[in-house]
Structure 1
Amino acid sequence: MADLIIRPATESDLPAIGSVTFEAYRAEGFVDAHDDYATVLTDAASRFRDAELLVAQDGSGTVLGSVTVVHPGTPYAEISRQGELEFRMLAVTAAARGRGVGETLVRAVIDKAREAGATHVVLSSSEKMLAAHRLYERLGFTRLPDRDWSPLPGINLMAYAYGLPL
């Protein structure tokens, strides 16, 4: 996408980010409006305060996707360790899927990790998110089965890592 812009989120982006994130997870059947996680997905303001949000927008300024960038030991960190950068809640609008938005957001996270001197980028992904797994593996992420975990019974998360050259 030639007109795709990746940038830090602003407060004015938060309603769109919350909506895009929830709708992306709902459309794939990973959450519904009654799930507790739906509240987390729509709460972009908390992520803006406690993490870093990146947005992908087109040339007209429409938010097409977002990702939450997390440092170890911060409120949204799940599996990251010292020297690693983690990302969560990668989401792309249904209309923008298949256009490289998700890949571009992941590459932006890798660039941020490189700039920060991190050794790895890590993430957790539901075992059901097969399209996301294909993207991560195509980009060079590898599985970290020793960090797989389950936040709730029946919800199994698979860990992945991308190693950054020293």
Structure 2
Amino acid sequence: MDQTIRIRPFAPADRQGVLDVILPIQREEFGIDITAEDQPDLLGIAAFYQTGRGDFWVAEHDGAVVGTIGLKDIGESKEAKPQAALRKMFVAAPYRGRQHGVALRLLDHLLMEAQSRGVAEIFLGTTAKFLAAHRFYEKNGFSEIARRALPASFPVMAVDTKFYLRRFAG
């Protein structure tokens, strides 16, 4: 695993680096016709993610953003279980795979932080096209759920067709 990669909270100076990682993956790799303006969460990361139990982290290598992951606080269930949404998990192509371990480190960091912040359930939505992502989430404790099982507060994106849930014991 590449020890020169650091996971840290998003800072406003990271905005362009975040866009430079996410937009090409969405547009070029997955053919999703989307802009930064179509994603208000990316234009206001601090206000959207860094509130309540939420946060947004970047993976950094030599001063450049090479990966992103967000935890959006979506409130509590009827049973007063704090819930969150995992959003915007992207890793630049050259940093994918076990050699760098960026995706796993981002997810591990998010899970550790979520648990320490008292989050009981993490939901996520993805597209049917992200096959490697499906395997990755399933391997890391997420179970597929039906769209109707999502809490009303979950921010479903237009491209989301597959949904997952990870619960913490306790």
TM-score normalised over the length of structure 2:
0.79
SS at match of 1:112: helix
Cα offset for 1:104?
1.3
Paired letter, 2:42: A
Cα offset for 1:156?
4.7
Question: Which stretches in structure 1 are left out of the alignment for 5+ residues?
Answer: 74-79
Any conservation in 2 of the 1:15–1:44 contact (CA below 8 Å)? no
- In structure 2, relative to structure 1, the CA distance for the partners of 1:147 and 1:28 (3 Å cut) is farther
In the alignment, the residues of structure 2 paired with residue 89 and residue 164 of structure 1 have an alpha-carbon distance, to the nearest angstrom, of: 21
Question: Which stretches in structure 2 are left out of the alignment for 5+ residues?
Answer: 50-54
Cα offset for 1:85?
1.8
Partner of 1:8 in structure 2? 9
Partner of 1:76 in structure 2? none
Partner of 1:61 in structure 2? 63
Partner of 1:126 in structure 2? 127
- In structure 2, relative to structure 1, the CA distance for the partners of 1:12 and 1:159 (3 Å cut) is same
In the alignment, the residues of structure 1 paired with residue 7 and residue 31 of structure 2 have an alpha-carbon distance, to the nearest angstrom, of: 25
In the alignment, the residues of structure 1 paired with residue 64 and residue 43 of structure 2 have an alpha-carbon distance, to the nearest angstrom, of: 18
Paired letter, 2:59: A
Please identify runs of 4+ aligned residues in structure 1 that moved more than 4 A.
148-152
SS at match of 1:5: strand
Partner of 1:93 in structure 2? 92
The total of aligned residue pairs comes to 154
Cα offset for 1:28?
2.0
TM-score normalised over the length of structure 1:
0.81
Partner of 2:43 in structure 1? 45
Aligned runs of 1:65-76 on 2, under 5 Å? 65-72=67-74
> For each residue in 1:40-80, what CA deviation from the matched residue of structure 2 results, as whole angstroms up to 9, or x when unmatched?
4586331222213200012x22211111210015xxxxxx8
SS at match of 2:164: strand
In the alignment, the residues of structure 1 paired with residue 136 and residue 18 of structure 2 have an alpha-carbon distance, to the nearest angstrom, of: 21
Root-mean-square deviation (CA), in Å?
Answer: 2.4
Any conservation in 1 of the 2:19–2:36 contact (CA below 8 Å)? no
Any conservation in 2 of the 1:84–1:113 contact (CA below 8 Å)? no
Paired letter, 1:44: L
In the alignment, the residues of structure 2 paired with residue 120 and residue 143 of structure 1 have an alpha-carbon distance, to the nearest angstrom, of: 13
- In structure 2, relative to structure 1, the CA distance for the partners of 1:42 and 1:57 (3 Å cut) is farther
